[in-house]
Amino acid sequence: MRTKNMFKVKKLIVALMGCLFFTVSLAQKPNILFVFADQLRSQELSCYGGVNIKTPNLDRLADEGLMMTNAISTYPICSPFRGMLLTGLYPLKSGISNNDHPLNPELPSFAKSCKKEGYNTAYIGKWHIDGIGRTAYIPEERRLGYDHWQALECTHNYFKSLYFHNNEVEPKYWKGFDAEAQTKAAQDYIRARDTEKPFFLTLSWGPPHDPYIAPQEYMDKVEPKKLILRENVTEHLMEEELQNNPRFKIPERYIHSHAKLRVRAKDENIIRKRYAGYLAATLALDDYIGELLQTLEEEGILDNTIVVFTSDHGDQLGSHQFYGKNVPFAESISIPFLVRYPKVLKQGTIADNLLSPIDMFSTVFGMANIDHHEIDGVDLTPAIVNEAVDARDAILLMNLTHFNNTSLINGLDTYRGIQTKKYTYARYEDKTPWLLFDNENDPFQVNNLVGNSAYTGLIKTLDKKLDKLLIEAQDPENTKEIYDRIMRENPKRIMVNEFRKVNPDL
């Protein structure tokens, strides 16, 4: 009997030791706080050389950790970025071929991977990958593994902003400016966390995306007349080429409804006013980053938390006289990527490795030593930390459809392209070269090298690289095929039928 009882005691001790080891190992895993803004181009942050405002808290992330100078938004509009970020898959694999198109909720995701590793998961802010309706309730099974939930599909009504709290089907309103309220919700989540388990918290802000507003205290800090505009705001040749020689027909009602928006990309007074609101919102976000860092410090977990800041894409704000985003110019595709994690990253690390949205979480997970599902992205941690050979020599660029606001307003056709450290190249679907820029010698991209016979060989080389990336992305480079797929997945996309009426080949 004694032997039997001793055996039971030993089993209990072993079990308790196992639980203790599991708890300790979980406690040693780093927390992850991943914050991203909407439509914030890298050029505005002072750590990236911005000249109009100071962003000391975001600069702190760069000073105390990593700043990546070649973070590129592959498909620079909202939903495709989010699909790539949360799954690590290219748009046609995740299903997000355009804004307001549903992502397959059965897909693996980084939040699901974190849960398998023992993490608590939380999402706060703008979602925009459900595709069922911008104010519709998103049930638990469509949240890609996030448990704590304070989110809405999409709104840019920043001072009267809805969200759903966990499984409550009646929406609530964020108090005041939604980005500030969402930051406070993130702080509350961190303070009330389960201290025996690490957390994976994603915070998604709507600003500085238009309507370019912020609390008045920040609006008062930026004077439109004193702003230094980018040198390419007056460049208009490429925009005029698209307006005067459209490669597709825009349905009549969209021509009229978007005519006034074209003016906003040409009128300097309007550009300055919008730019001022954009920068005011950026100042607010910088303060909120500071508050998040302070909360992590107060909780004693700052150095055991991987803090990441990025954005889904940029904003033309009149550069090249284009409206919005979704064009392969630096203002649209160049985004910040800042990481603080002193256990892996040296202070003041500046890396010029090419980074796509599909690489972001795999790189963060590499720093955290967390396993995840098979993805298209790569972990850039070894190349960053060891200054090794780059994992990528080119990033894919794309616009898969015609029916988003920026395509309609700018007369923009579908395109595919690539970004290297030196060049930006884009071509139309029929393989006709559209743009080629030498970004080292022409940083404002005003000298299009397409048509210059000295670059014929380079274009052929870039085309081969692009073809290889399209195979990896399972992109047929065929708008008709993509539109057929969209209609199968979401028959309510009436805009596809509208485009096909005036463009029978689509």
By annotation, the residues acting in catalysis are 78, 128
Q: In sequence order, what are the beta bridge partners of 504?
A: none
Instruction: Using the structure block, give the residue that is written with the tokens 């699901």.
Output: 112
Distance between CA atoms of 181 and 126, rounded to whole angstroms? 13
Distance between CA atoms of 299 and 333, rounded to whole angstroms? 36
SS3 355: strand
State the burial class of residue 337 (Cβ atoms within 10 Å of its Cβ: 0-12, 13-18, 19+): buried
- Going by C-beta distance under 8 Å and a sequence separation of 6 or more, which residues neighbour residue 393? 354, 420, 465
SS3 386: coil
Among 455, 463, 392, CA closest to 426: 463
Distance between CA atoms of 460 and 436, rounded to whole angstroms? 12
Among 431, 429, 404, CA closest to 480: 429
Distance from the Cα of residue 307 to its chain's centroid: 16
Count, in order, helices (H) and strands (E) of the chain: 18, 14
Residue pair 155/161 in contact by the 8 Å Cβ criterion:
yes
Q: In sequence order, what are the beta bridge partners of 306?
A: 32
Residue pair 299/238 in contact by the 8 Å Cβ criterion:
no
**Which tokens go with 164?**
């759903």
Residue pair 377/356 in contact by the 8 Å Cβ criterion:
yes
Q: How many CB atoms lie within 10 A of CB 431?
A: 11
Distance between CA atoms of 430 and 55, rounded to whole angstroms? 43
Distance between CA atoms of 43 and 426, rounded to whole angstroms? 21
How far lies 204's CA from each of 109, 285, 356, in Å?
Answer: 17, 11, 18
How far lies 322's CA from each of 36, 67, 242, in Å?
Answer: 24, 28, 10
Q: How many CB atoms lie within 10 A of CB 12?
A: 10
Q: Please measure the distance between the N-terminal and C-terminal CA atoms of the chain and give it in whole angstroms.
A: 81
